[in-house]
Structure 1
Amino acid sequence: MPFVTLLTNLKLAALPKDIMPRLITHLSPLLNKPAQNFNWVCETEKNMSKGPEVSDAPMYWLKIESIGSFEDPKTSNTITPEIFKFFTDELKINQDNIVMTFYNLRTSDVAKSGNTVEVLSRI
């Protein structure tokens, strides 16, 4: 059950309408997780910049959280170029305007249907 958050200082109208579905379709095989299990949020018009100075340059921050996906650092090292390629080739976003963070979650860190995933896996 991956969680994907894309933050940007751009207005929603400046992004392709299908940016998140396209991103999820791209991430699904990279993380070996079914696309229907992804949860996503796209937050626009954020006050954000690289470095201490406020900049008008477009900026994107992609956060991916997933159960078990990032236990091995090789995963991050392997998928990072593929994600950057998606942003540059498909969305025409400069790599210098994108930062990414990856978080590994334990089954006890995620809850749905009234229980943690850890408890649900035993039911």
Structure 2
Amino acid sequence: MPFVEVQTNLAGSRFSEDFLRKLSSCVAATLGKPDERMNVVVKANQPMLVGGSCSPCVLLSVSAIGATDNADKNKEHSAKIFSFLTGELGLAEDRIVILFHALQLHQVGKKGTVMSFL
């Protein structure tokens, strides 16, 4: 059950339902997770500074169980997600930062319990 959160100073109009679906599919594929388990949130129009500049930028967080827990995996995920974001949003790589968070089963609640019991 991966979670993707995009924070950006870009306008919300840049993030159509089509973009959300494409981002979800991209991240699902790289993490090896089913599309129907993905959760995506975009927070647009945020006051942001990345690398000392307020130019257009994206801070993307990816949290997942068993898919973001080591450097080798995250290096592969990063390459694929950067390729998607630079292509879709027209941003240079230095205007994008990705954070990876490894989740444990007991840290994700669903259906009135946690994933450990599902």
Give TM-score, length-normalised by structure 2. Answer: 0.91
The whole-number CA distance in structure 2 between the counterparts of 1:23 and 1:106 is: 23
The whole-number CA distance in structure 2 between the counterparts of 1:39 and 1:24 is: 8
After TM superposition, the structure 1 = structure 2 runs for residues 1-123 of structure 1, keeping only pairs within 5 Å, are 1-13=1-13, 15-17=14-16, 18-51=18-51, 55=54, 57-120=55-118
**Uncovered stretches (5+) of structure 2, i.e. residues with no partner:** none
Give TM-score, length-normalised by structure 1. Answer: 0.87
DSSP 3-state at the match of 2:64:
strand
The whole-number CA distance in structure 1 between the counterparts of 2:35 and 2:82 is: 19
Give the percent of matched residue pairs that are identical in Structure 1 and Structure 2.
30
Contact 2:15–2:42 (Cα < 8 Å) also in 1: no
Aligned length: 117
Give 1 or 2 for the bigger CA radius of gyration: 1
Which ranges of 4 or more aligned residues in structure 1 deviate by more than 6 Å?
none
The whole-number CA distance in structure 1 between the counterparts of 2:104 and 2:80 is: 25
Following TM superposition, by how much is the alpha carbon of 1:72 offset from its aligned partner in structure 2, in angstroms? 2.5
Following TM superposition, by how much is the alpha carbon of 1:54 offset from its aligned partner in structure 2, in angstroms? 6.1
Q: CA RMSD in A?
A: 1.5
